[in-house]
Structure 1
Amino acid sequence: MAPILVKSIGHTTSSIPRPHIVYNFQVDCDGIIDILNKRYSEFATLHATLGITNFQLPPKRLLVTTFIPSAWVDDTLISERKAGLEEYLSKLLQVPEYRHNDAVQEFLEESIQPSAREFELEDVLPSTLTKKAADELLNATSSFIAASYYASWSNIAPEKIDYSKFDILFFAFAIPNSSSALTWDSPTQAILKRLVTSAKNSGKGTKIVLSCGGWTGSGSFHSIAGNSANRSKFVSTLSKAVSDFHLDGIDIDWEYPNEAGAGNAYGSSDASNFLLLLEALRTALGPSKIISAAVTDLPWVGSNGKALTNVSAYASELTYVNMYVSCLCIFSFLTLSEWCDERLPKGCPPTHYIQNYDINGDWSSAPGPNAPLGNHCGNSSQPAYTAEAAFLQWTKAGFPASKLLLGLPLYSYVLHSSKTTLSELVLPGIEEESIDEDTVGPVRGANKTPTSAVISDEVTTEASANLTKYWGQQVAFKTLVSTGALVKKADGTYGASGGFKRVWDSCSSTPFLYNTAQQTVVPYDDTLSLADKAALAKAKGMAGCFTWSMDQDDGVTLQNAIRKGLGK
């Protein structure tokens, strides 16, 4: 193969969202010539992602662009970066391990126009920027959101919350009913009032948003959204709740439009009716209130039974969508025969159970990650169900990155298994090769082959952490700590203890614990994996992150790691 030739062919400027510089390169690969147009910040993000140390980018010039706004600085900066970026890209593409890296391949594709949140100060045209404007821009681009769900059944008193750690708290749940009203558990309204009062008294600016629905509370959405009178009544119900409780907004957690979820009624018009509901709610609440929707890795299912390919109209009404990436709020099952009757024409053995959202559980001897960051080994049978894939799927469908909140689980699953690696999960009683993804639908799984796992340093204690009583259950991160399976170390990270070993799954960028004597495996997320996901949200220009749920943290240790990953 002939060397790849890179040549700087100039630069252009763009005025949206602010005046900035785009560098133009010609890339010649065996006579095939492509034109690459990139901002400096895109090079910087790639450099950080690859962790390159043997050659460098041209340096950042933040002080220059902040304090010397003049035309000659434009020329000096641009000339320096043209030459430096040409040299950098030439070196990068000569190294096979970099050239074939997924991040590099994505980089070589056409750039997307940055939003105001994604805009980087280093990309600015210096002569257009005053110090005041630079300060405003720095503040705007660093205001990523760190949010969480506060469960009404939580044992955390609203008065005890450190509100400085949370920009938004989503209060879960009020349940929509068949009368287009809300059903509340007996103490729920009183707790919500205390939460709103405590948040406002804290002076930290934390917003309180009421979440309606949830896994077991979505049974009435189909009938509410599908009828004009019902929609109108429900919007009035939500508007009154916002007014009565002095809320900052409403979160619609419909699980899911045009899908059964926990056995709910559904229909082919659900997605379009949901848009009508959102439009009416936005009109009623006005532009300043938050309206969010809890979603999965893929956009809502349309009338053709497939994920919508254009959700830009929804984005016009929503402040955020909260992306649950292969994580589940409520642990729920349906019989395998019921699931197969719906998905497979011939049905399946009726004696097993599957989880309707995560596939990792006690029914399988081959555990997989709970919430993978990405498909980093390229061998996942479900590549659409990762944080990285979810971002691409939603933005490709027209939803702005700046309105996406990435969901992060603060819980794990305790699995009855003697495995010491994470590997492909298949439905019980079905041979792996017999599964047809197009027929069966999304199976939340892991990797087809065991990972090149690395066992971390083990923190030894005399006590044995027995997790066998939790087999098949969802457990909070703090439970792994309180049982002694994890121990917090001096540096703030967590090590395995009580007879467990901790392993890092490089394919999903998540850790897991195992104890072969107990035949127990625990895929989970910790300070490191959560910080990685938060850093992804920041790098991609998302709105930020949220967690389910704040009461499952070990104090605020995980929340602090997420905030750090977001640069807060």
Structure 2
Amino acid sequence: MLDLPGPQFLLRSLKRSICLCCVMLPFLALPRLFASTPDKVSQPAIVAYVFPGNSLIQPGDIAARKLTRINFAFALIQNGKISTEDPQDAANLATLVSLKKENPGLTVLISVGGWLGSGKFSDMALTRESRGIFTQSVLAFIEQYQFDGLDVDWEYPGSVGAGNKFRPEDKQNYTLILAELRQQFDREEKKLHRRLFLTIAAGASSEFLEHTEMGKVQKYVDTVNLMAYDYYEPGSDTTTGNHAPLFADPLDPKKISADRSVEEYEQAGVPAAKIVLGVPFYGHVWGQVPDRNHGLFQQGKPVPNAFADYKNISTNMLSNGFSRYWDAAASVPYLYNAAQQIFVSYEDPESLALKCKYVNDHQLGGIMFWEYESDPSGKLLDAIDISLHHEQSASMGQP
């Protein structure tokens, strides 16, 4: 049985709806900046990060008709320019673009950076000259591969991330590079006679907001893909927890959740319609977790293979000594193996259905997930596709 939202939650939802109307009304006469807003309201985006590594993507591997956008991960920054390294990338990029024949409404973007690929952002964004070199390389890349735009995954401006170089001025330079990309995209669109999208992958933390100017940034991007996961990780958290909670569990020492992150982004100036809620197709694993509260919010330690994709969770763990539990307050599942003292935080179709309802209730821009190959069965994508569109149709009074 699921807990229903209380009066405070409903009141805040009403306030958000009122605030969204207040924010959007002054801009109704600006068709370019908010051209995609009606589509987002009527058809929430489903954004898939596709990360094939050194493997070749086959056309049948991707359910193109269930997606709105594909972000290919990752391009890198080399010598100040966007580039790819893997010899399979060219073939994979061509395959993804060819999926637009199957789904004409699909857009395909190149995502640059990522956790391990963000080390060159600070240098690239430092000066007008360096930003210009990067921007021109992006335009050439888009033209070469017939992409529909760029997704910037800088992890993270003003922060070390995975040991990356960073500067205090990253905060302003992050805004500048996005503004200059948007300006060049607007010019290029007139030549190409088609839309070019600019999106970002954004950290779901107060620290990310402190080191960026999201109120300014949102003016230049089509969507903010909010990475509302990894709130708890075995490598950095000695206590187990829900790594992608929709709401905060009162017992959670951190009091973190996707709902809190969405609210913080709105308070920072990002319209709800531009926020795309990120969800994980993977789980985190802790070992040596005592059998109290089925392992939730208990002491734990990292284990080998602490990252588990949904395929492994659904086909191996659930049939080999792991029991599924439900955190009703957070609206997410978790697994616990009492014999092995192993705890797993993950996402499943039930929790994704509730996140889709949340997206529609709060009029967010859609759902994003990392990443496609983690669930070859398609169960999680099916849950998103059905839940997101069914919930939306129901809210509009459609059968």
- Normalised-by-shorter TM-score class: 0.7 to 0.9
| 1:289 matched to 2:189 | no
Q: Whole-Å Cα distance in 1 between the matches of residues 329 and 299 of structure 2?
A: 18
**TM-score using structure 2 length:** 0.83
- Cα-to-partner distance string for 1:332-386 (whole Å, 9 max, x where unaligned): xxxxxxxxxxxxxxxxxxxxxxxxxx54327866421111111142x43323x41
Asked if 1:159 corresponds to 2:59, the answer is yes
Alignment CA distance shift 1:279-1:175 (3 Å):
same
Between the aligned partners of 1:117 and 1:560, the Cα distance in structure 2 is 33
Match of 1:381 among 253, 256, 264: 253
Residue 340 of structure 1 corresponds to none
**SS of equivalent to 2:216:** helix
The answer to whether the Cα contact below 8 Å between 1:411 and 1:524 also exists between their aligned partners in 2 is yes
Match of 1:549 in 2: 371
Q: How far apart, CA to CA, are the structure 2 residues paired with 1:307 and 1:205?
A: 35
- Kindly indicate whether residue 221 of structure 2 is the aligned counterpart of residue 318 of structure 1: yes
Q: Aligned letter for 1:321? A: V
Instruction: Give structure 2 stretches of 5+ with no counterpart.
Output: 26-36, 190-194, 391-399
Q: Aligned letter for 2:18?
A: I
Give identity over the alignment, percent: 26
SS of the aligned residue for 1:380 comes to coil
Q: Is 1:171 the counterpart of 2:77 in the alignment?
A: no
| Structure 2 CA distance for partners of 1:300 and 1:282, relative to 1, 3 Å | farther
Aligned to 1:513: 335
- What whole-Å deviation, never above 9, does each CA across 1:254-285 have from its counterpart, x for those lacking one? 00000000111111110211111111111111
Whether the 8 Å CA contact 2:41–2:365 is kept in 1: the answer is no
How many Å apart are 1:157 and its aligned residue?
2.6
Q: Distance in 1 between matches of 2:160 and 2:38?
A: 44
Whether the 8 Å contact between 1:149 and 1:170 is mirrored in structure 2 is yes
Deviation (angstroms), 1:472: 4.5
Question: CA–CA distance in 2 between the matches of 1:230 and 1:192?
Answer: 26
TM-score by length of 1: 0.60
Q: Distance in 2 between matches of 1:283 and 1:366?
A: 45
8 Å CA contact 2:119–2:164 kept in 1: the answer is: yes
Give RMSD over aligned pairs.
Answer: 3.0
The letter of the residue matching 1:282 is R
Q: Within 5 Å, which residues of 2 pair with 1:391-470?
A: 391-420=262-291, 421=293, 422-424=295-297
Query: 1:226 is paired with a residue of what secondary structure?
Result: coil
**Structure 1 residue 537, shift from structure 2 partner:** 1.3
- Deviation of the 1:546 alpha carbon: 0.8
8 Å CA contact retained: 1:411, 1:476: yes
Which structure shows the higher helix fraction? 2
Task: Name the counterpart of 1:473.
Answer: 306
Aligned residue pairs total 368
Greater RCO (CA < 8 Å, at least 6 residues apart): 2
**Runs (5+) with no aligned partner, structure 1:** 1-47, 52-97, 120-136, 328-357, 429-467, 487-496
The change in CA–CA distance for 1:426 and 1:359 in structure 2 (over 3 A counts) is: farther
Equivalent residues of 1:371, 1:386 under 8 A apart: yes
Alpha-carbon distance between aligned partners in 2 of 1:415 and 1:155, rounded to the nearest angstrom? 29
1:178 Cα deviation after fit: 3.6
Matches for 1:105-504 after TM superposition, within 5 Å = 105-106=11-12, 112-115=18-21, 141-153=41-53, 157-160=57-60, 161-197=62-98, 199-286=99-186, 288-298=195-205, 301=208, 306-308=210-212, 311-327=214-230, 359-361=232-234, 366-377=239-250, 379-383=251-255, 385-420=256-291, 421=293, 422-424=295-297, 471-483=304-316, 485-486=317-318, 497-504=319-326
1:276 and 1:542 mapped to 2: Cα distance?
A: 25
Q: Alpha-carbon deviation of 1:508?
A: 2.0
Distance 1:108 1:481 in 2: 37
> Any idea what SS the aligned residue of 1:566 has?
helix
Which amino acid is the alignment partner of residue 103 of structure 1? F
